[in-house]
């Protein structure tokens, strides 16, 4: 296979991962949908290599192995989440994907002259099933009508508690811990926003902000700003907003329910923030 073959497998592993990540970000895919899309991409690349007599398909399932390592890095450094969290089943997903890729590689791709449809029954069945899958995939999401229902991934209790300990330790001096309700609410919002936009992605946001200077969500709390703000400054901005909501109309903090403050802070994310807040409060 040679060094070029390994380089190609790594390159396509990155490409496949980015494609699946982009589709997942837009359409919130299930594990099964991610798997079928990955297999589809593998067959397309294998077909192109066979068509152009590019002899690097013998171990092409290694693309899925590289996807595993890329996702591990993405979870650890971009999302700052535990890749091996049992509730997310990442290891199980990639184990099944690699096994299916290996079987397809050995029993299908390596046994035929062309992967693309040419009349043989096995290939017709595979492509037929893939077309059926994509038909229902697009139909269920009303993509033809350009209306997409967006929902966030479920946030596991374990992930919340891991992020709670990590972020509280990192930003302890900025969280106003003497005010427990506000402190816990700040952390709940922080965990949600940090899950959506990890530290590395925020650094990229800072870079693009310095280039164009347009209004952008910045900092760990994802505060919309026309000026450059740090993570700590974004926490302080949100703290002041929450403190104002708690004190609205001259009422004391105890008289205003946290649920009301969360609803006023963000109607769109109220239920997610509330779920995270409840986990923190019980911890």
Report the C-alpha gap between 125 and 187 in whole angstroms. Answer: 51
Nearest Cα to Cα of residue 281 among 188, 156, 142 = 188
Q: Where are the domains of the chain?
A: 2-145, 157-282
Supply the pTM of this predicted model.
0.53
Using a pLDDT cut of 90, give the percent of the chain over it. Answer: 41
pLDDT in tens, 189-221: 999 999 888 888 888 888 778 777 678 889 999
Place of tokens 């079928």: 36
Report the C-alpha gap between 118 and 159 in whole angstroms. Answer: 48
Q: How many CB atoms are closer than 10 A to CB 95? A: 12
Report the C-alpha gap between 201 and 199 in whole angstroms. Answer: 6
Task: Give the pLDDT of residue 143.
Answer: 43
Kindly state the greatest CA–CA separation across the chain: 78
């Amino acid at each position: 296979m040679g060094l070029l073959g390994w380089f190609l497998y790594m390159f396509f592993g990155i490409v496949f991962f980015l494609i699946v990540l982009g589709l997942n970000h837009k359409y919130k895919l299930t594990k099964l949908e991610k798997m079928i899309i990955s297999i589809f991409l593998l067959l397309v690349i294998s077909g192109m290599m066979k068509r152009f007599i590019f002899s690097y398909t013998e171990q092409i399932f290694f693309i899925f192995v590289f996807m595993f390592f890329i996702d591990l890095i993405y979870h650890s450094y971009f999302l700052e989440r535990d890749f091996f969290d049992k509730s997310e089943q990442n290891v199980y997903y990639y184990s099944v994907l690699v096994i299916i890729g290996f079987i397809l590689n050995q029993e299908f791709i390596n046994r035929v002259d062309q992967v693309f449809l040419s009349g043989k029954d096995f290939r017709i069945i595979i492509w037929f099933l893939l077309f059926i899958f994509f038909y229902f995939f697009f139909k269920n999401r009303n993509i033809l009508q350009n209306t997409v229902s967006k929902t966030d991934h479920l946030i596991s209790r374990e992930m919340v508690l891991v992020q709670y300990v990590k972020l509280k330790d990192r930003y302890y001096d900025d969280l106003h811990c003497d005010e427990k309700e506000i402190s816990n609410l700040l952390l709940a919002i922080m965990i949600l926003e940090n899950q959506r936009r990890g530290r590395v992605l925020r650094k990229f946001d800072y870079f693009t902000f310095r280039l164009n200077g347009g209004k952008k969500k910045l900092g760990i709390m994802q505060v919309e700003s026309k000026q450059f703000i740090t993570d700590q400054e974004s926490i302080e901005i949100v703290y002041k907003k929450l403190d104002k909501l708690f004190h609205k109309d001259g009422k004391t903090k105890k008289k205003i329910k946290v649920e009301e403050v969360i609803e006023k802070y963000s109607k769109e994310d109220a239920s997610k923030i509330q779920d995270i807040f409840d986990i923190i409060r019980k911890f």
